[in-house]
Every structure is written in C-alpha cells, then in structure tokens.
Amino acid sequence: RGIRVLRVAQSLLRVFARHLSPSRFSLCASLSLCVCGCASTRPLPERRREGELIPAMASYLAANPDNPSSAAPAAGGSDKLTRLSSRNFALTSIDLQKLPHLRDYLPGLPTQSNPIDRSPFYRPFPGFYIGPAEVVLRHILFDLSGVHSPAPTRSLLAYHGAGPREVIYFDPHTVRAAIVTCGGLCPGLNTVIRELVVGLWDLYGVRQIYGVRDGYRGFYSSEPLRLEPKMVNHWHKMGGTALATSRGGFDLDKIVGAIETRGFNQVYIIGGDGTMRGAVEIFEEVRRRRLNVSITGIPKTVDNDIGIIDRSFGFETAVEMAQQAISAAHVEAESAVNGIGLVKLMGRSTGHIALHATLSSRDVDCCLIPETDFYLEGKGGLFEFLDQRLQQMGHAVLVVAEGAGQDIIPRTEAQREERDPSGNPVFLDVGAWLKSELKRWWEREHAGELFTVKYIDPTYMIRAVPANATDNLYCTLLAHSSIHGIMAGYTGFVSGPINGNYAYIPLAEVAMAKNVVDTKDHKWAWVRSVTNQPDFAKSD
C-alpha cells in the first residue's frame, strides 16, 4: 500500500512539473516532502538513495535551467533520508525535537506491552503502533526559488508523531491520574475531561482517576473528585467545566507537594498560555525531585493564540457563536436609518475570532483586531469610512476584538496599572468606548439626522456553550493522544495537530509560542477584500 501511495504521489508531481510555471512550482515542494517523509519512516523497498531526485523534480530542474533552483544534485550518502539538493534547496536532514522522557532521569523503569493488544473489542492491525522514526514536520510548504520566502537550506524541524506505543512505562493498576482545568472557560473543556476519563478507563484499564477542583489551587486546598465513565458520560453536552476553574493560585511547592503526597503519577493540565507556563515549572520541579510522575499540558484558549499547533479546541465553536452575534447586529443595523451594528468579540492579543467570523458571515463592513492599528478622525480614518458606507448602503456592521485600540482609549494612571489575578493588564471596554465615540461624532457632523448604534457584546456567551461536533471530535483526539504519550513514558509535552497530523511537542516550546494574525498573510488580505475597509495607514 505504501508503494502504491508513493507511485501516485510521484505521478502527481510529474503532472505538476509539466504544467506549472516556475513561480508556482513551490506547491510541488510540499508534495515532495510528503513523499520523502513516507520514504523515510517506512521501510519501503523502493526508497531512493540520498542525493537521488524524485523524477518529477528532476524533470522540472532539467526543463528550467535558468531557475535558481536548478543545480545538479549532490551524489551519494546515507540510505536513511531522501535528499533533494540544488543551489538554493537542500533537504539534508531532519531536526527531531527531543521529547522529555521519564527514563531520562529514572533509568531502568520497568516496561510492559500495551494492553490494547489484549482488548476484547479491538485488535491492533500491523502498523497501528507509532514507531520512533515516525515524525511530523513543522513546515511543509516552501518557496524553492527563495523569492518570496527563504528556501529550505537548513535541516527541517520535526516532532515525534502522537499515538499509541507498543511498549508502555506505567502499570495501569498503579496509575493515579489527576485532571485539572485552569483559567477562563472554553467550549470543549468537559469533552476533554470526559475523554481523558473514558480513554484511561477503556483503553488502558486505569481505575484511579481524579479531578482536581478549582484550578491550580485545588491541588492543595480541596479534596480531589473521584471520576469514572458513568459520572462523566454526558459532560460533553455541557458548557463550562464540571471541575470548576479559577485564575491564579499557582504555588509551585504546594502543588508539587500535593502531587507527591496524594500519589498522583500522571497529571493532565488543561489551560491557556499562562497555565502552560505553570505546567513547565511543575514538570521541571517534578524532574528535579526525580519523581516518577508524567506531566502533560492540553492547550486551551478560545482566542486561538497558542502557537505551533494548528488551532486550539473550542475556537471553531466560538467562531460559530460569534457569527450569530454578527447576524443579529446586521439585522438591527439594516432595520434602522443610518444604523450601525457594533460587535465586540474575544481576542486580547490576537484577532483570530474576529477575522474568521468576519470571513464566515460576509455581513461585516469593518474588522478591527489587535494586530493592526486604527484611528478615528481624519482622512482614511474609521469615521470617514463609516460615513461613506452609510451613504452607500444606509447601514454598516463593525466587528472589534477586545484587544484592539487599547492604546488610543484614554485611561487614568490607576487603570494603566490595574492587573487581573493572572497578572494580565485589565483592558478597557473598546466596544463601549467606540459606541460613545460614534455617537459623539455623528452629533457633531450630522446634527439632527437619524442615527442608531446597536452594541452587542457576546464575550461570555461564545465561550460558555458546549462544543460543536467538530470541536468535540478534536477534543477526543487531543485527550487520547495525551493518554498515549503519558503511558509511553513521555513527560513535559503537549499533544496537538501540526499540518493536520498529531504530534508531541515539548511543553516549554508551546508555552512560549504565540499565534497572532499575520497581516501579510492571505487571510487578512481576504478580510480587506470582503470588507473594503481602509488600511488605516496615515500618510506623512
């Protein structure tokens, strides 16, 4: 089967090489890398020698001698990896990120075969278990010409593939697993909890599973809740978190002390970027004390602002709910004379929800996000744009992320210093401020004319609902990937999809990575084309 896939991929590459222009051939690079990945992770008899070009790539280079990518390939080398080489493009090696493992500081740990082998309901097929050579590439799209982005001349960053291993490092009968939710709410929290419980119970036969209540402080301030499948059976249909959550309460010594005292040897931490940074500290302290405890983080943020992974769970549900608010604002605005519908959406440091909801609804006239500045008065400003839109259409819909415009909202010194329990700056309500400024502007410029602003703030509505079908499935895959990783002895890691494939990523790397809207990306260009809004670039 693998050989057939390889041949099909090579046939596609030949077609692309014949019909694509040099400037478009970068599409073939991602397919080539997929073929390379297949050839390097499965022992196929037709694997090519290092330095030997895939035929379609060779055809392209021969047909385009003036292209800077068309130099002769390097010859010879190891049989471990396919090598594509040219002046600007050389796939020379895979830089596999080291994943922390219990055996790093506890050598000689006993192992046993995976109990899935003995499941009465399922028999693993050949290739079911993930091997150490199966990796997920961080980047799969390259510009071979190096014109629009650097060509891949260095080694390619990769992560261990997620999934069940043939050998595990925990005896399921001695596992005491702890699950905790921290920070704000997000659709899918209860689904993750449910699937952790059901996965541990059904896949591995674990019977001692506990929920830590009230966030990080619950480790040392309250008794854990014993969990079993019957109790959590319907939790995926509920919003919020059945374990309760809170911000703050992080006391490293007390938390690790409670983990040790209560005998927990698997800890599943669900939370956002601040929670992940706390999880890194817990992992490092557990390792320093040489405890036989695995720590994993499951990143949660409705804003979708955690980096490396494709997206955070709950995000698609939030976008779906945000569309309902935008639709309501559009109806209100369209039904009034000179009506403006103003919607504030979640997004402290990034505008992913606002961006995706804008593209999905097609009712939005202007989208304001934290990644781009805007101004109100003068030529090219927001007021001028809205004035033109009202003259043309008679109404307008304005979407603003909560973190947008914070630098232009007047505030007192005390407001500048204010922090929430997690230490984040307290934002002022940009929606309420914009509503006030819009009314002031209209009274000044159009005194006596009818005007209506309808302000809708669905902030807590969109995060408190149950997960939709897509997010429920996603939460299940995240939870089960985390279980497989911990049972295999990995620790200090995060599970998540990268380019659609699930991988294990070092926890410290995820904790420091941010996912912000790239305003030079096609998605933001699509927003601009849909709304026709100005770029708010002031001319000197």
- Of 240, 224, 259, the C-alpha closest to 190 is 240
The residues near 154 (Cβ < 8 Å, ≥ 6 apart) are 92, 95
The residues near 521 (Cβ < 8 Å, ≥ 6 apart) are none
Q: Which residues pair with 266 in a beta bridge?
A: 177, 294
Q: Which residues pair with 95 in a beta bridge?
A: 157
Instruction: Identify the active-site residue in 95, 253, 273, 303.
Output: 303
Q: Catalytic: 310?
A: no
Could you tell me the CA-to-CA distances from 253 to 35, 220, 259, 291, 333 in Å, in that order? 48, 10, 10, 14, 54
Query: Which residue type is seen at 82?
Result: T
Query: What is the DSSP secondary structure assignment for residue 124, as one 8-state letter?
Result: P
What token pair was written down for 302? 């409705």
249: left (phi over 0), alpha (psi -120 to 50) or beta: left
**Burial of residue 373 (number of CB atoms within 10 Å: 0-12, 13-18, 19+):** middle
394: left (phi over 0), alpha (psi -120 to 50) or beta: left
CB 337 within 8 A of CB 394: yes
d(CA 352, CA 44): 41
Please list the active-site residues. Answer: 303
